[in-house]
Chain A
Amino acid sequence: MNKLTHIIRSELKSLMRGKWVMGYGLIFLALTDVLLRFGGGGPETLLSLSNVMLLFIPLVGMIYGILYIYQSREFVELLLTQPIARNTLYWGLYLGISIPLMSAFVIGSLLPLIWHGIFVLDVGSTVLVLGLGAVLTLIFVSLGFVLGLAFYDDRIKGFGFTIVIWLFMAILYDGLILFLVFLLGDYPLDKFVIIVSMLNPIDLARIMVMLEFDISALMGYTGAVFNRFFGSSYGVITAAAMLVVWLVIPMWSGLNVFSKKDF
């Protein structure tokens, strides 16, 4: 445990020296503040913030994750010669990057929300949006780690895959769903679209945002499965559970690759 905190602390120091994380936090600070100033405040701001979050956090998380693996190559290889368990090293690296990223997002967005008084007004929605951002950061940093470890020597390939995966998950996946919906339009599709959307963490987060802000529209669709799913706590619980699964799988597979890898 001592070693773990030590690694995290040294990571943190080097990150602070780089100032990138600070910049990342400041971007969210400026963005949220501008949204609040010009967007009228209230639910609109949180919705705009969640749109930005759904698009950029996955990209930034993955890029940071993979970049981190590449940058700290010498550091990792040095530490591996020391009597430190690979588990500890992995968690140290992982938390050392994801905790600062997460806090940069949460603090950067939260401060303007507090000084504009939205946080007090709408605690539930704020916590949901920021919490989702935090979870997405965790998921995509670990995805970045997995990719970085998989393409350890071929950086171009690693970055290429990162961009392609982001593009697919953030944008193209929904196009695919839409295509399937039109293709299979003659069949009852309620269950199908719910399950398919649950397979993508960005869609999962989007569904949770929808459940918070658009429930009145969702109730307008007359499908019984839809209504039961979204109209009760069932929808939130399932989506949250799936997010946890999405959190665990890349983390675990990253750990697996890291422990078995011949550096």
Chain B
Amino acid sequence: MSIPSQMKNLKYIVTVCLLMVAPQLYGQISVSLDGPIKSISEAVKMAEPGSRIEVQSGVYEESGILIEKSIELVGIGMPVVNGMGNGFIFIVRADSVTISGFEITNTGQSYVRDYAAIIIEKVADFVIENNVVDDVFFGIYVADTKRGVIRNNRVESYDLREASSGNGIHLWNANNPQVYGNTVIGMRDGIYLEFVEDADIRDNFSSQNNRYGLHYMFSNGGSYYRNTFTKNGAGVAVMYSNYVDMSDNNFEDNWGGAAYGLLLKDIKHSKISGNRFYRNTVAIYSEATSDVEISGNHVELNGWAVNIKSNSIGNRFIGNNFIENSLDVRTDSPRNNNTFEGNYWSAYEGYDLDRDGVGDVPYRPVSLFSVIIEKQPAALILLRSMFIRLLDTAERIMPVLTPKTLYDEKPRMERIP
């Protein structure tokens, strides 16, 4: 053995020794493919609670990285963690864990277990940020947690079937989670909440998911705002929840026989305001909701602006803009238990003699045609036909078949800004 190579070995040994002492000294461990610590799992095992692990860029083929200490895992230069289809990749089982700056890919699929890129269970105060999760079954899976932040992550997958894809951000039985600025594309549900209390969901972008862009189940309190939901298989669903605040979101291009901008089912005491609904098949679908205030929304160019089932009671549609929707309101009952007041309807043809900005004759948003296609859907092909327009006008003057009590007493003459 030559002298230089001996020197090299010596250097290596010293470095390793130093590095082994380092965590104790500095609370910091560095993982890199050409360094002494080549595996994230190993680094996690070595780490003490409170230490920081920096992972240098490169491809790490690892899965089942079990984190049971409060540590901070930081990717430097977007290291890739490839799970090789072996299931869960990061498993977080300690409070106050941070995972940031990783590209996590390839969890593999399962019909039995919810394999996720990051699973966080029974902990509090986690931070998951700036990660790119690509081609996985579930993205970020949160169960039984308190507080915690998920922000600025990107989750994307490519399976087009509902059964074999998982949710992007899955929250189950979580308390006060904060979900900010994430992008979720091509999952089953973009963001899924079940038994979540007081969630704070904002500035997310959820698109092209196979089922819902956002799926809200049995989750009381909480709010979601300034999110954008586009081109999702079935739009956004909010079900069996009370006191939810939905505002300033953007619901766009959700098309299909069962696609809704916003589907409400068994919702009580909630607020929907300042949202924009653009080019959805049905902008707002409401079933068995009560005491929901829908105000100040901008509903434009949808197939149906509102589809409200007769078991929805005491909801108030106030001060919304309904602009050029193919049909305004659809309902399945001749009775009406909801209030429509002070909205702007672009289809309104009334007049305003006293010039107070409010039309002098009420507007009836359920047209005869809407009743006709409720009975004979194939008649939809006659939309915008002159004959239908004549029928509608006649019916508006003398309502016979449309709900007599469903009308807007004070339709606005001008668009509400």
Binding site for B on A (CB under 8 A): 40, 42-44, 47, 51, 54-55, 170-175, 177-178, 181-182, 185, 189-190, 192-194, 197, 203, 206-207, 209-210, 213-223, 226-227
The interface residues of chain A lying within 8 Å CB-to-CB of B281 are: 216-217, 219-220
**Contact between B381 and A207 (Cβ–Cβ < 8 Å)?**
yes
As a 0/1 sequence over residues 376 to 417 of chain B, the CB contacts with chain A under 8 angstroms (1 = contact) are 111111111111111000000000000000000000000100
Query: Could you say which of A51, A177, A182, A189 contacts B384, with CB atoms under 8 Å apart?
Result: A51
A141 to chain B, nearest CB (A): 20
CA distance A225 to B361 in the complex (A): 41
**Contact between A221 and B324 (Cβ–Cβ < 8 Å)?**
no
Query: Could you say which of B326, B346, B372 contacts A216, with CB atoms under 8 Å apart?
Result: B326
Is B282 in the interface zone, CB < 8 Å from A? Answer: yes
Knowing A214-B383, A214-B384 are in contact, say whether A40-B323 is a contact too (CB < 8 A): yes
B170 to chain A, nearest CB (A): 28
Shortest beta-carbon contacts, A-B, top 7:
A217-B303, A217-B326, A222-B257, A174-B387, A189-B378, A174-B385, A220-B281
CA distance A222 to B258 in the complex (A): 8
**Contact between B415 and A219 (Cβ–Cβ < 8 Å)?**
no
CA distance A55 to B387 in the complex (A): 11
Most A C-beta atoms less than 10 A away, residue of B255, B282, B373, B389: B255
Most B C-beta atoms less than 10 A away, residue of A44, A173, A213, A221: A221
CA distance A154 to B380 in the complex (A): 41
Besides A171-B387, A219-B303, 14 new A-B residue pairs in contact (Cβ under 8 A), listed by A number:
A44-B346, A174-B386, A178-B372, A181-B379, A182-B376, A197-B381, A210-B383, A214-B326, A216-B279, A217-B302, A217-B327, A218-B380, A219-B257, A226-B381
- B interface residues, tally (CB under 8 Å): 38
Is B357 in the interface zone, CB < 8 Å from A? Answer: no
**Contact between A220 and B303 (Cβ–Cβ < 8 Å)?**
yes
A23 to chain B, nearest CB (A): 24
**Contact between B282 and A220 (Cβ–Cβ < 8 Å)?**
yes
**Contact between A220 and B304 (Cβ–Cβ < 8 Å)?**
yes
B110 to chain A, nearest CB (A): 32
| Nearest-CB residue, chain A, relative to B301 | A43
Query: Could you say which of B304, B346, B378, B385 contacts A217, with CB atoms under 8 Å apart?
Result: B304
The interface residues of chain B lying within 8 Å CB-to-CB of A44 are: 323-324, 346
Query: Could you say which of A42, A181, A197, A219 contacts B376, with CB atoms under 8 Å apart?
Result: A181
| Nearest-CB residue, chain A, relative to B387 | A174
Knowing A55-B386, A194-B381, A207-B381 are in contact, say whether A40-B415 is a contact too (CB < 8 A): yes
**Contact between B377 and A223 (Cβ–Cβ < 8 Å)?**
yes
The interface residues of chain B lying within 8 Å CB-to-CB of A171 are: 386-387, 390
As a 0/1 sequence over residues 151 to 175 of chain B, the CB contacts with chain A under 8 angstroms (1 = contact) are 0000000000000000000000000
CA distance A192 to B376 in the complex (A): 13
CA distance A197 to B385 in the complex (A): 11
The interface residues of chain B lying within 8 Å CB-to-CB of A182 are: 376
CA distance A181 to B382 in the complex (A): 11
**Contact between B378 and A190 (Cβ–Cβ < 8 Å)?**
yes
Knowing A40-B346, A181-B376, A185-B376 are in contact, say whether A170-B415 is a contact too (CB < 8 A): no
Is B280 in the interface zone, CB < 8 Å from A? Answer: yes
**Contact between A213 and B301 (Cβ–Cβ < 8 Å)?**
yes
The interface residues of chain A lying within 8 Å CB-to-CB of B378 are: 181, 189-190, 192-193, 221, 223, 226
The interface residues of chain B lying within 8 Å CB-to-CB of A178 are: 372, 379, 382, 387-388
CA distance A189 to B380 in the complex (A): 11
CA distance A181 to B377 in the complex (A): 9
CA distance A213 to B376 in the complex (A): 22
Knowing A171-B387, A220-B282 are in contact, say whether A43-B379 is a contact too (CB < 8 A): no
Q: List 22 A-B contacts (CB under 8 A).
A: A44-B346, A170-B386, A173-B387, A174-B386, A174-B387, A174-B388, A185-B375, A193-B378, A194-B381, A197-B381, A206-B385, A207-B381, A213-B301, A215-B255, A216-B253, A216-B281, A217-B281, A217-B304, A217-B326, A219-B256, A219-B303, A227-B257
